[in-house]
Every structure is written in structure tokens, then in C-alpha cells.
A and B are shown apart, each in its own frame.
Chain A
Amino acid sequence: MNALIDPELLGVWTRAVIAAPLVVLVLLTVPMFGRRMWKESTIARLAVFGLMLSFALDTGLGLVWLMSDHVSYVVPLGSWFTIPDYTFVTTALIDTLSLSILGVTSFIALVVAAFSSRYLHREPGYARFFLLIMVFVLGMHVLLLAGSYDVLFVGWELVGLSSFLLIAFFHHRPGPVRAALRAMITYRASDVGLLVSGVLLHDAIGSSSIAFDGAWPEAVAQLSEGSATLIALCLLLAVIGKSALWPLGSWLPRAMEGPTPSSALFYGALSVHAGIYLLLRSAPLFEASEIASMMAIVIGLVTALLATAAHRVQSDVKSALAYATMTQVGVMVVGVGLHLFSWTLVYMIAHVFLRLFQILRTPSALRDAEEVRAALPILPPAKPPIALRLLPERWQRTLYFASLHRHFSELLLERFVVLPLLAVSRRLDQAERRWTAMLSPVSGVSKEETTTAPSRATRAAAGSE
């Protein structure tokens, strides 16, 4: 009953767990580049079957682990590339944390895929949707099973890529594209934190292994407090972007422009909580650093307070749920800061299922509201929450105004970070143009200002190619 799992079997099984979504992903690219698009039923069946297989493998792995002695396993998966002084080693870490969320991930993805197979019926981009879902599932599997921050980054990037491409799913409209741009920029800017943390870990201990000494959550990091603080703060930066914490959370409500199933999967359920997973995985670092723990508490608390206020002034249900999600994610970050790791894990899993359900139900929310109004012709007036009733009216108005403007965090970011950066970029570009103009008579003028529209002959030639 308490036997160790055969390492070879574990290696094969882990590879199978990662390979399952990968194989489906590769198969789904075929119709994208082929002459004829497959039928919706074929695509949906392939995706659902693949996710069922993935769920079966994930659950099987979890059951086998449960029946063993519950130790953490570091599973070597080989090396990606090797040079004399360095090897990119790929390992998987199998323990309570990774297996619990792994099963949840594949189950939720399966539910969403089944839901989407009918919800997106006759939607242009049906195949593209399922392709991106499989990219996401693959990314999550890699992220959850990663045995090092280097490998985790691979999954992290795949999750981010699928995320912003799905936000821009309805790409013929400007709103989703703008939202995707905002999400992409936030992800990439905050990903510096994850990359730098890998660099610092390599510098400190010669590898970026996540397998600290001991089993989660009691593992210990063999690092000085200074190193642990720096690395933990970098990871917190990465999580601030991915999990929409203050002050980089403005992308999340806008991300609801994507299809409802992907909003549920990403921003209710899994993608937004990937940051929490990263913090939980890095628990030993936070335990070793009081400063990082304090920062997590502050950021989590501020996020929760601001998000709950913003949630109450939203006029559409998906935005309201987005802010509600942010609130709870903020609470989870506080949990990490207080070193309540197991509690945070349980809370996260419960929250994932709740938000998934709520967001998948949003298309029906309007109909539900109308049914309630029809049943109750006179609705009782809504009472403000107790906390607001205690505040003076002037403060209530100020809070309402600030909440409507999302507490000005994105305005301030734009005013003091984005616009100055773009202004510097454009000034440097103007300087470059002036310099090249000095070297040559006309080159400072942008080609766009001297280019005319293509002639009909050129357009016809392009069309007949």
C-alpha cells in the first residue's frame, strides 16, 4: 500500500500526461492548414476525447500517487539541450500541490470543451477556439508539472499566448483586440519577474529547481534571506500581471471580451489562478522572507479592497464577476503572505469551481433577471452593504466615483509609465530620422508619406498570384 512508485513507470506516465494535449493540438492544426475545414462535430469530438484521455491520465496519476507513500517525486524527463558547461534539464515534480490542481485543470477543461461544442455552434473560428484551448491545456500541464522555474516558464508562456489570442477571438471588433493588446503587454512586462527569478536562482544555487528540501508545504529553501527575498519579490511581480493584482489588474475585466467559455476557463478558473499556484509552489521562499510575505499581504489586501469596491459598481455581469474574481485572488495572495498554504490551496480549488459555474451561466443571467422581475413586479430596493452605510455620504460618493474609474490605477500607469515610455521612443525615432536626413537629402521623411497607393495593375497582379 505504501510502496514507492516505479520511477520508470512514473516517467512514462508523466510524459503521457503532457503528450495527450500535445497530440490533440497537433491534430487540430491539420484542418487549419488543409484545404477543407473539418466538421464542427469532428473537431469537438476530437477535443473532448483528448481532454477525457487527459483527465483519465491525470486522475490515474493522482490515484497511483495516493496509493503510494505520498512523497514528492522529481521525475527526470531528459535534457532539452546540452553544452559542456550547461544542460537544460527537464524534470517534473509530482506532489500534493501539482496533482491536486492537475486533476482540476483537466476536469474543468473537459467541462468547458463540452459546453463550447454547442455554445460556439456556427461561430467562425470554431476550430481556432479548440486549438487555442489545447494550447492552454498543454501550457497548464507543463506549468503544473514543472520541476524547475525554467520549465515552468515554458508553460507560463503558452498559457499567456493562448490567453490573449482568445481574448482577441472576435478579432473583427476593435474592443477585443484592444483588450488582447492590454493583456499581452501586461503579461510580457510582468514576465520579466519570472525570468529574473530564474536568473537569480541560477546565480544563487546553480539551478532553477523548484524541488526545495522536503515535501510541500513544509519544504525549505536553502537560500539566504536576501536571495529568497529578491527571488520571491520577482515572482510576485510575475503573479501581479498574470493574476490581475493591483496595480496591473485592469486587463482582466476587459479580457471578458472573449467567448464566455474561454472567459470561464481562463479568467474565472485556471489562468488567473496560475499565479496563485506559482506562489504556492514558491512557498519556501516566502517562508524564508518576511519582507516578501509582507509585500504579498499588502498587495493582496489592496487588490481585494479595491476590487470589491469596483465589483459593486459594475453594470454588466461579466465585469462584475471579473472584479469578484480579483477580490478572491487578492484574498488568496494574503493567505500566501500569512503562510496559510494548504488553506489557500483548498480555497483556490473551491473558488475555481464557483467562478467557472458563474461565468458559464452569465449568458443566462439576463434571462434569469428578467424572470425574477416578471415574478416579482415590485422589487425591494437594494440596500447598500453595511460598511458603506457606516460611511458618511460624501465618502460614499467619492468611493463610488473612484470605483467607477477603477481607482485610477490604469490612468496613473498610463500617465506615468506608458505614455512617457512611448514619448521617449518617439523622440528617439525623430532624432534618428533627423540624423539620417542630415546624411541624405530626403531620407528623414517617412516612406509612408511618400508612398502612394498601389496601382490597379499591382493590385491585380497581387490578386492573380
Chain B
Amino acid sequence: MWNASLLHGPILIPVLAAWFTSRSSRPYAAHRIALSAALASLLCTTIMAASGSGIEKHGWTLPLVHAEWHLGTDALIAPFLVLVCVITVAVLVALPSMDPRACTTLLLTLAFTLGMMESLDLVLIASFWVASIVPSAIELRRADSQKSVGHVFEVYAVLGACAMIAGAVVFGFVRSRAGHSLPFDLSVPTEGIALRDQHAVLVLVFGAVMVRKAIIPFHSWLPLVIERGPTGIVSLIAGSHMGAVLILRILPFTRDAATTDFPVLAAIALTSALYAALVALGQREIRRALGFIATSQLAFVVVGLAEARTESVHGALLQIVTTGLTLTGLLIITSAVEVRAGTHDIARLGGLASRFPRMSVAFLLLGLSAIGMPGTLAFVAEDLLLHGLLHTHPVIATLLLVTTVLNGITLLRLFLQGFLGPSRDPERIGARASDLGRRESAAVFAIVIASFALGILPRHLIEMRSDAVERWVDDPSGSPQ
């Protein structure tokens, strides 16, 4: 009963709350409901993560298809759940003026994202995957007056969803043919899938992952969504890392094919990281630059997981946490800049540090956290990623370094040109505009403190997952067998 409550709570509570917020006519009431639901989900997921051991719950089975309502979490996945809830809580705290419809779509996205991450059945994963697209697309269309962002997002999301569904179908078919009673079950790795079938499943799953994680050539949607989408839903879309969870779930069943396919994915992801960092270099608009930097950093995660070595997997998992947190914080600040100045173009900004010192310090600290300044979690993540890649070839590791350097230059340039110097348009900011409010400051500086605290003391986060990562990698030398 307790396990069932813990597993279902994070999914059902936001769904229920979304029903109430959709019927609420008072914005602040809807916001309070949403925040309460997010906090409740955070509590449930934190308890699951703190328990250390995995929990599972089997439910009803879908006849004919033999899919099962099967939820579970372990030390590998549980921190993802906490991260998603933290991101949701942070944006709700920082943006108290979110209207009821935005709260509703945010809650539904949260629920379906958590559902996907907890699912141990591939049909259930695909269902939640597709379901999470719907509220996101609705919110993106609603928030953009020209409906363009939502349209682009939908094109890519549908593409990814098709790949996801196809992958699930093929997986179920080949496992059913091999005689498994629950062909879509992912809880216990089993053998029996022929190598050719493994390749087929991996190619389709990679397609879904590449779309979701914005890996070239399926990357163009993410920078656009981050540039123009509303902060709340965008933080959740970019910070949820559903693609990473899918890789973690599927590898144990496709180890033989992964030996040859994963290096290809790693190479594509590394190219994507470098490409996005290069495009970010010349950006003038803060949000668009953040979009490409996020694209680059999401690719790091895929590189680390695809490398499938203990160090690189640990690095990827930490990179997930730091990217999710810092991107959320940076988007909150950029949103604050935009509200006060009406723009996030650094060519029109400047002088923000004199008017808004808290905002400027927060942006600098978050920027340093994002680029891997020593003492931050990103530094630990990149160090581990680097050592994982060293085993492949030092040249590959060097490309990763070059990418981090480019991202660092971009972020620090945004800070220097956007926040320092004289104001390029003094009339732009109203005389009554004030620095970060209490809620904004609370959300942003909590993220800063978390990033530095986890960076200085990353042991607990690493040890929590150590056994699970070893089992996932399942090879003393670090490469999938």
C-alpha cells in the first residue's frame, strides 16, 4: 500500500490538481493548488529516492497486447523524479503570476513525465511519452501569438513519438515471438532477442531519443522552444531528460547491438554538442543562446550514456542534474530581465548590474555553475565524462573540452555584455522596475546553493547510484558486453 501510494502519488496528485486548476477562475488560487501538488510530488519522489532500494508495483494487464500497468523506481531513476519535481517547484515559486491554464498544462506535463520515468512497461512508457507532448504543445501554442513555436514542437514531437511507438511495437513483437508472457516488461533484463532485432529496436529508440534530446539533425526545435516558449513549461521540457531514461531502460535488453550502435550514437551526440556550441557563440539573444547551450549540454548526457563506462555514465547522470537546475535558474532570470526591459537582446541591454545587482550576481553564479567552474556540480560531471571518454580516444575527450570552452565563452559574454557596461537604451527600463523579488530570489539562489553544495560534496549523489550504475554498465572494463 505504501509503495503503491509513493509510486502513484507523483502521477495522480498533479493530475487531480490540474483538474482543479483548470476550473479555477482565480489565478493565485490556481497557482497555490499547483504549487501544493508539485510539493506533494516532490515529497513522494524524495522519499522514494531516500529509501535507497527500488520499489515496484504491478497493476492490471492489458489483454491482447499483454502490456502491464507496471511502475517502479530504483537508485538510478529516482533522482530523475526528484529533479523534475524540483524544477516544477522552482518555476512555480519564481512565477506566481502563472495563469490557471499554464498551471494546468504544467501539472499535466509533470504527471506524464513522472509516469514515463516510473514506467517499467514499454507500452506504458510510450503512452506517457506521447501524453506528455499534448499539454506541452497546447501551452506552447497558447503562449506564442503566432502559433509557430507550438507547430515546430509538434512536428518534431510527433516524429519522436512515431519512433518511440515503432520501437515499442518491434520490441514487443520480437519478445512475444521469443515466448515472453509480458513482452513489454522492462523490469528484468532477459536474453532472447536476436542481434538483428536488437539493432532494429535500438535504431528506432535512438530516433526517439535523438528527437527528445535535440541531437542533430533533430535539434532545431529546442532552441526555438527555449527562445520563445513560456519559462515554466520550457524548463520542464528541457530539464526532464526523458530520452536519458529511455536509454537506461532499453540497454539491458540490447547489449549485443549496443556494442556497435552506441559508439555511433556517441559520435553523433558529440558532433551535435560541438555544433550547438558553435551556433551559440554568435548569439545576441540570451534565450536563444541558452537554447543552443542547453542543446549542447543535453548532447553531453547522450555521449556519456552511449559511452557506457562507469565514469561516463556517472558523469552523464550528474550532467542531467546540473543542466536541469541551471537552465531553469537561467530561464527564470532571463524571464525577469525580459519583463523589466522588454528584451533579452544584449545589444539593447547593458547596465543591468547597476539597476539589478541581485539578478546580475545570480546570472553570473548560475552561468559559472552551467559551464563547469570548479566547485560546481558541472565540474564534477564534466571531469567524469572526460575520464570516461579518455578510454575511447583522447581526441574525443579534447572535442568535449573545446565544446565546454565555447559554451563558457558564450555564457560569460552574455553576462559581460548584457549585465555590465553602460545601458544601451536607458529609456527601456521603467524607473519603478526593481530587482529580483523575494520569490524569484528564493528559487534562483536555492538553485545556486544546490549547484555549489552538490559540486563541493558530490559523494552522496554518486554513492546513491554507484551500485545501480555498475549493474547497468555490467562490465568490469566499462563497455557494454
Contact = CB atoms under 8 A, between A and B. Distances in A.
B131 interface: no
Contacts of B309: 85
Interface of chain B, helix or strand or loop or mixed?
A: helix
A154 B374 CA distance: 5
B279 A429 contact: yes
Interface in A67-89: 80-86, 88
Contacts, number: 197
B426 to A, nearest CB: 12
A449 B416 CA distance: 23
Interface string B451-481: 0000000110010001001100000001000
**A interface, over-half SS:** helix
A85 B469 CA distance: 12
A287 interface: no
Given A188-B409, A429-B279, 4 more contacts: A188-B408, A441-B148, A443-B151, A461-B339
Nearest to A458: B339
A134 B431 CA distance: 35
B458 A81 contact: yes
A83 B462 contact: yes
Interface in B265-288: 275, 278-283, 285, 287-288
Interface in B373-404: 373-375, 380, 383-384, 386-387, 390, 394, 397-398, 401-402
Interface in B296-347: 309-311, 314, 336, 339-345
| Nearest 8 CB-CB pairings of A with B | A463-B432, A425-B282, A443-B148, A459-B430, A154-B374, A171-B420, A440-B148, A465-B437
A239 interface: no
Residue from A173, A192, A422 having most chain B Cβ neighbours under 10 A: A192
B340 A462 contact: yes
A463 B221 CA distance: 33
A423 B279 CA distance: 10
A134 B173 CA distance: 63
A153 B353 CA distance: 29
Contact of A192 (B149, B344, B402): B402
Contacts of A171: 353-354, 420-421
A463 B374 contact: no
Contacts of B470: 84
Contacts of B401: 192, 195-196, 199
20 contacts: A83-B466, A84-B310, A85-B310, A86-B387, A164-B412, A171-B353, A177-B416, A184-B416, A191-B405, A192-B398, A425-B279, A425-B280, A425-B281, A425-B282, A439-B151, A443-B146, A446-B285, A452-B342, A460-B432, A462-B434
Interface in A282-336: none
B466 A173 contact: no
A158 interface: yes
B248 interface: no
B49 interface: no
A192 B408 CA distance: 12
A405 interface: no
Interface in B354-385: 354, 361, 368, 373-375, 380, 383-384
A2 interface: no
A456 interface: yes
Interface string A190-216: 011001100110110000000000000
Contacts of B170: none
B387 to A, nearest CB: 5
B383 A447 contact: no
Interface string A415-439: 0000001111110110010011001
A442 interface: yes
Contact of B373 (A80, A161, A203, A453): A161
A413 to B, nearest CB: 15
B422 interface: yes
B405 A425 contact: no
A172 B310 contact: no
Interface residues of B, number: 82
B282 A464 contact: no
Contact of A173 (B341, B384, B421, B433): B421
B425 to A, nearest CB: 10
Nearest to B412: A184
A432 B295 CA distance: 13
B409 A180 contact: no
Most chain B beta carbons < 10 A, residue from A158, A199, A447: A447
Contacts of B220: 432, 435-436, 439
A168 interface: yes
Interface string A151-191: 00110011001001000100111100110110011001101
B394 A203 contact: yes
A36 to B, nearest CB: 14
A432 B384 contact: no
A221 B282 CA distance: 42
B180 interface: no
Contacts of B68: none
A377 interface: no
Given A191-B405, A446-B285, A202 B434 contact: no
Contacts of B344: 448
Contacts of A398: none
A234 to B, nearest CB: 10
Interface in A30-81: 32, 80-81
Interface string B414-447: 0011001110000011111110010010000000
B421 A436 contact: no
A436 B152 contact: yes
